[in-house]
Chains A and B, each alone.
Chain A
């Protein structure tokens, strides 16, 4: 709290993001065209949700491999309820969210009460949830999406700000408030920071683990639902390739995989960086066969910079302490 802002973990990503924007837009002005901004924001909004749902688990020092599976399950149940049962979309949304919530709680409960590592649990639940998804859809998308949902998923409420930005921003603010202002959130970070000490101070570790996973499930479901709106289809494949992003963004944002420390702003910027990178590769029509290479290289570069800053900060501290 008392540290200068340029020492804070989100400063590195911010620097990268800003430089990237400046360079790209100077090379290709259309990058900052309202429409492009809208596209960018659409991508960022959904991906931020995905990253957050992983971030909250990283906060307690665990991993959730099933974010994508939960998101997909919520997405297709959202589409399915509306197409098959003709449920009005708000209700369908709420129901799908609660499905995600339950899935998360299931994960959490299993981790908390069996003491088996979350990695293993979510590895198993990953294929359970994905299986349910395929079992229901038989790989067929749900097409019958109400226009309201479609427009919410694509249109802007205030040009060039798309509707989807609202839930993303809301989630970011709430998460920040939770993790840095509310006892519950602090307890989550405390468990991640030193489980034993947290338990000694009367924090019920199992309960916290469950809460964290519940939130994760909820956010994943929300991401899935937002995607249905954005893609205008209830695609069964939604969520299949969330995993990499979900980890990359928080880590680029300075999260520590062993738990106890995450940054909402950093994660958000991490998402932004990845989104910009993806766009740049398209804008400058990089040989499609090279795209992966560049992406990987840029991830390395980003975390590298972050690391370098960290190390220097630590040296300073060490010098001060001794």
Chain B
């Protein structure tokens, strides 16, 4: 997948080099996820590419060792000390990270919430990421397309301490209600593989016949559920997963999973680094920028989320590229005054 990214990067860079301008004092971007997680892996490449393409001082991927708010804060603080002057942060907690984000902003550095949003009000220039609620909503819609009326679906999702989880739960319920389906169970707190394995399998073992569809809105549950369905060998149950874990992709190819909601981490990292640099070189965010708004913020930019089914899953990288491309091409004109 890294190779794929490099291709994409090359393509983009060709198209965009002219528009890249060098800041007088070089921009040092830090891309900081909430903790170690495969989802963010694409950021490293994206940062490196952006740094190359737009001649940034650097755009480094810095990972806190654990999913700990405290540790992420400590890391951000040390990054300030290290002289980074632009921050792309996945908020460890939509509310809890606001304070540190504001402090970073006070140092004059542009701060963007990436992949997940900060809850308004905050000093973050904007939030670019997957609209978690929306993605769950669309995913459920895609699922219901496959199912008859009055379908029974289950929802596997992540940690309850993460407010996004609540958003997802609501979104799925909403979509189901509209589609005349019923969410017969939500299983949460399964971001760790062991409990996920245990609970999902236990549930399927007991209710395999009562369930028509599965929607998963977190990485690990998607992986585990795909495996579970493969294990049962039952293709009756329709499942829509999330993200691009190889297990999920493979399951889609083999027809155990209907499709997955792709997100666009690479695009987030690449575009984010670019914008950071533009902002430092004097650009400002348009007052009338057409931000979307979601449950958390009114300054939301959807980094795009597409449904990839069996047919388009093979070049899901391609589909992610195209989103990125579209978003990137008119980003400056749409959101920035330069």
Q: Which residues of A contact B (CB under 8 A)?
A: 28, 30-31, 33, 35-36, 38-40, 42-43, 46, 131, 134, 138-141, 143, 154, 227, 230-233, 235-238, 240-242, 275, 278-279, 282-283, 285, 288-289, 291-292
Contacts and interface: CB of A to CB of B under 8 A. Distances in A.
Contacts of B195: 241, 278
B97 to A, nearest CB: 20
Given A36-B202, A36-B205, A278-B202, A139 B194 contact: no
30 contacts: A30-B205, A30-B207, A31-B206, A33-B205, A35-B205, A35-B232, A39-B198, A40-B202, A42-B201, A43-B202, A46-B194, A134-B36, A138-B36, A138-B41, A138-B63, A140-B38, A230-B197, A231-B193, A231-B224, A233-B223, A235-B193, A240-B192, A282-B199, A283-B203, A283-B206, A288-B160, A288-B186, A288-B189, A289-B160, A291-B189
Count class of interface residues, chain B: 35 or more
B248 to A, nearest CB: 11
B80 to A, nearest CB: 24
A238 B193 contact: yes
Contacts of B202: 36, 39-40, 43, 278-279, 282-283
A227 B38 contact: no
A227 B193 contact: yes
Contact of A285 (B185, B193, B224): B185
Instruction: Please list the 8 inter-chain residue pairs (A to B) with the smallest Cβ-Cβ separation, ordered nearest first.
Output: A139-B36, A36-B205, A288-B188, A39-B201, A30-B206, A279-B202, A143-B246, A39-B205
Contacts of A292: 189
Given A232-B227, A233-B247, 18 more contacts: A36-B205, A39-B198, A39-B201, A39-B205, A40-B202, A43-B202, A138-B63, A139-B38, A140-B41, A154-B231, A231-B193, A237-B193, A241-B195, A282-B199, A283-B202, A288-B188, A289-B160, A292-B189
Contacts of A238: 193-194
A184 B113 CA distance: 58
A164 B84 CA distance: 50
Contact of A236 (B36, B201, B207): B36
Nearest to A36: B205
Most buried by B among A38, A43, A242: A43
Nearest to B207: A30
Contacts of B187: 282, 288
Contacts of B208: 35
A241 B189 CA distance: 12
B194 A227 contact: yes
Nearest to B33: A139
Contacts of A285: 184-185
A270 to B, nearest CB: 16
Residue from A28, A31, A33, A233 having most chain B Cβ neighbours under 10 A: A233
A237 B189 contact: no
B4 to A, nearest CB: 15
B201 A241 contact: no
Interface in B116-156: none
Nearest to B223: A233
A281 to B, nearest CB: 8
A1 to B, nearest CB: 36
B284 interface: no
B174 to A, nearest CB: 18
Nearest to A241: B192
Contacts of A30: 205-207
B65 interface: yes
Contacts of A39: 198, 201-202, 205
Contacts of B63: 138-139
A28 B210 CA distance: 14
Contacts of A230: 197
B45 to A, nearest CB: 12
Nearest to B210: A30
A28 to B, nearest CB: 7
B193 A233 contact: yes
A131 B63 CA distance: 13
B37 interface: yes
A112 B38 CA distance: 39
A231 B38 contact: no
B102 to A, nearest CB: 28
Interface in B181-230: 184-189, 192-195, 197-199, 201-203, 205-208, 223-224, 227
Contacts of A139: 36-38, 41, 63
Contacts of A43: 197-198, 202
Contacts of B201: 39, 42
Contacts of A288: 160, 186-189
Contact of B199 (A38, A235, A278): A278
Nearest to A50: B194
B232 to A, nearest CB: 8
A299 to B, nearest CB: 16
Given A28-B206, A35-B205, A36-B202, A231 B197 contact: yes
Contacts of A231: 193-194, 197, 224, 227
Nearest to A40: B202
Chain A CB count within 10 A is highest, among B36, B63, B203, for B36
Contacts of B184: 285
A143 B247 contact: yes
A237 B205 contact: no
